[in-house]
Amino acid sequence: MNLTFSSRELRDLAVAWVVLGVAFAIFFAGGGSRALSMLASEGLVRPLLVSLLTAGLGFLLHELAHKVVAVRFDQVAEFRADYNMLFLAVMSALIGFLFAAPGAVHHRGRLTKRQHGLIALAGPVTNGLLALVFAPIFVAGLLVGSPLLSLVGSRGVAINLFLAAFNLVPIGSLDGRTVLDWSKGVFALTFLPAAALAIYVVFVLGVGF
């Protein structure tokens, strides 16, 4: 497998990663004037670092997973950032909610429905695995009494579970639509547990917020 990155693709990945980090930092600080005053008084470095390591990393590895599987199927695949949507992500975070669609991996070549489905599934599965990676970080933070470690761990779990479930929703251009078109069984076995776990952890337990 020949996995290569053009200079434009590396730039788009880096810009999307940083802008999403900023957007999530503003969002978790409360949005609007509250966020700006909080970040001005407490500094942007720590909130931005947490967002880059959680939301930013979740996004980055999600897209890279799509690319890796596409290239595995002999596709020409590259990530392209959507700069209008990145701007919207920051503006929506300032208002107090977050809408993030930073870009996508575009690929070309002949594919079967199964291959299309596996490429789409790779992103949400990666987010699910990342949630598992962040879980022991959260526990370790609690055990050693480190608020920063606990925050990174809990937010990493919450954001990646949310990303996995959200991207498996079978509407529009989301990954779930492609997975469902390929296999109803695979869709049910991935979307239903992802959605249930995300709802329980994020909205019932309130982990990460």
Query: For every one of its 209 residues, what pLDDT tens digit does the chain have, with 9 covering 90 and above?
Result: 788 999 999 999 999 999 999 999 888 887 766 766 766 666 678 888 999 999 999 999 999 999 999 999 999 999 999 999 999 999 998 888 888 889 999 988 889 999 999 999 999 999 999 999 999 999 999 999 999 999 999 999 999 999 999 999 999 889 999 999 999 999 999 999 999 999 998 887 776 66
Beta-carbon-side half-sphere exposure of residue 23 (alpha carbons within 13 Å): 24
Terminal Cα distance for the chain, rounded = 40
Give me the residue label for tokens 């575009």. 106
pLDDT at 185: 97
Task: Give 77's strand partners.
Answer: 107
Q: Where are the domains of the chain?
A: 1-108, 111-209
Among the listed residues 9, 42, 63, 78, the single catalytic one is: 63
- φ, ψ of residue 145 to 5 degrees: the values are 70, 40
The residues, ordered by sequence, that sit 6+ positions from 90 with a Cβ below 8 Å of its Cβ are 19, 22, 23, 26
Active-site annotation holds for 78: no
Q: Per residue in 31-83, pLDDT tens? A: 766 766 766 666 678 888 999 999 999 999 999 999 999 999 999 999 999 99
